[in-house]
A and B are shown apart, each in its own frame.
Chain A
């Protein structure tokens, strides 16, 4: 009797979580879809965000995650290859690296923001200015490059974990065949392991992009701007970004009611972007997991 009650209670927990998720998503979908038009996506903001569209923010977000991806994928994949293909299994170093990756994924996003400011802008950027530009202010200021590199460090664990999972799904027999044909380890990695792991690398990349596109705290001080009359073209330009746009519109708008429809539509766009990416990643990953089960 008591048992029945507790089982029902645990079922209720599930129901509450599902209901709350549905409430959040339903509300945003309902009010966000209303005002969403193609011209909203393709126009620039007007009248202090009370009219117009969000094209610069969409463009900035894409540019930002593009640079981030270029930085994080090679680094993450090489780390995973080292852990799974090079390092002796269960060595001290492997344990340390894994622990560092787990810890890195637990560092608060705002701390990454501080790091981006203290390291990339004040140390690397100012250092580059002093060395190459005669102390003219070029890279020693908030810029899309620094924001993207900050996000790259934040998403590194995502890429490493996803790639590693794909590497583990490859049967050892494939590696042994490559060696028996006289391949060196790097040849084996390039010709046998990496082509088969492409799905996992893709998953990691997509998840990283989805995470990076949604994080606001790390870009607050590293390059995001509320309003810019031009699109970012160079690596040291500032940029507008969807998440930051939402934050500023929601908290600093002089006329909340006027910006509300635009705000909802912007949230809808960011959420749709994140979910399309996530579902693609989940789909690719489920295919890898199926292969992993078959391989065993």
Chain B
């Protein structure tokens, strides 16, 4: 009788363990469903479509400014292209700034540097990774903005360059860590063979090790890109938040994520504006999800390549 009780308790706990394994899958599923559900009226509800249908969101409108995001004006305008452009501009600056630095540093510590340099750099990178994004945003707003303004001679204190560099600081640790993992995963025999053939340290690193680790390095870049697209607080605080339709990097910008963060707090629940903000959230979710799958696929390729070679 008693053992029966214990056994069924054990069964219950094991069932719980099995169930919790689905928590991550369930979490992703719920995120998609509950954000998508609030975004759906943009496609289905006649009322929301009249004010903010897909054509209003993506196509040029009549008037002096064909693309404008002015959701709280008398005639609300919901063109999200300036926001797309803002995200793209800031992300590009961040990527161009962060990826060369992170890859260079990873190459240095994994191929050329003595061990003590690596032991020194790793904790510093972890420090950088541990800085909350609101702190980076604060720093970009209060300190860096003036430096960037002076250095590039820009009129506006908050602009795409400033936000992009601050965002780059958040991207560097991600790219560095993954690229370093990919480079160190290349078997030692590769390097030995190359050196034995008379190649120099740089030739070995650039012609043998780097190509072998390429899928992992691409995955690192893709994940860095994903982080940059979705990052909110840095861009919200450091970019100036003006939704303008221009490629000029010295102008203030407004990103998709910052728009959601800035406007959702004051929006009327159930209004077209509310649904459009959820649509932006859905788009961010879908982008980053796709990028993650992509990165995962690269890593799988790297693993197969190295396992196949070893």
Interface, chain A (partner B; CB < 8 A): 2-4, 6-7, 9-14, 16-18, 20-21, 24-25, 27-28, 74-75, 78-79, 81-83, 86-87, 93, 96-97, 99-104, 106-115, 117-119, 123, 153, 156-157, 160, 184-186, 210, 213-217, 220-221, 243-244, 246-247, 250-251, 260, 263, 267, 270-271, 274-275, 278, 282
Contacts and interface: CB of A to CB of B under 8 A. Distances in A.
Contacts of A93: 21
Interface stretch (B65-73, B138-146, B245-253): B138-146
Contact of B104 (A10, A210, A260): A10
Contact of A3 (B35, B123, B201, B226): B201
A220 B265 contact: yes
Given A108-B232, A109-B232, A96 B25 contact: yes
B59 interface: no
Interface string B145-175: 0000000000000000000000001001000
A104 to B, nearest CB: 5
Contacts of B227: 106
Given A14-B109, A115-B34, A214 B135 contact: yes
B35 A118 contact: yes
A11 B113 CA distance: 8
B138 to A, nearest CB: 5
Contact of B142 (A21, A106, A250): A250
A103 B31 CA distance: 12
A11 B108 contact: yes
B142 A110 contact: no
Interface string B121-142: 1011111101111111111011
A21, A109, A110, A216 — most chain B CB neighbours (10 Å): A110
Contact of A117 (B17, B141, B264): B264
A119 B231 contact: no
Nearest to B141: A250
A118 B138 contact: no
A103 B277 CA distance: 22
A100 to B, nearest CB: 4
B207 to A, nearest CB: 11
Given A17-B102, A103-B296, 15 more contacts: A9-B104, A75-B23, A86-B18, A93-B21, A102-B292, A106-B292, A108-B284, A110-B261, A111-B285, A216-B233, A243-B134, A243-B233, A247-B237, A270-B134, A275-B127
Nearest to A251: B237
Interface of B: 10, 13-14, 16-18, 20-25, 27-28, 30-31, 34-35, 37-38, 100-105, 107-109, 112-113, 117, 121, 123-128, 130-139, 141-143, 169, 172, 176, 200-203, 206, 223, 226-227, 229-233, 236-237, 257, 260-261, 264-265, 277-278, 281, 284-285, 288-289, 291-293, 296
Contacts of B134: 214, 216, 243-244, 246-247, 270
B133 A221 contact: no
B108 A13 contact: yes
A24 B16 CA distance: 45
B132 A243 contact: yes
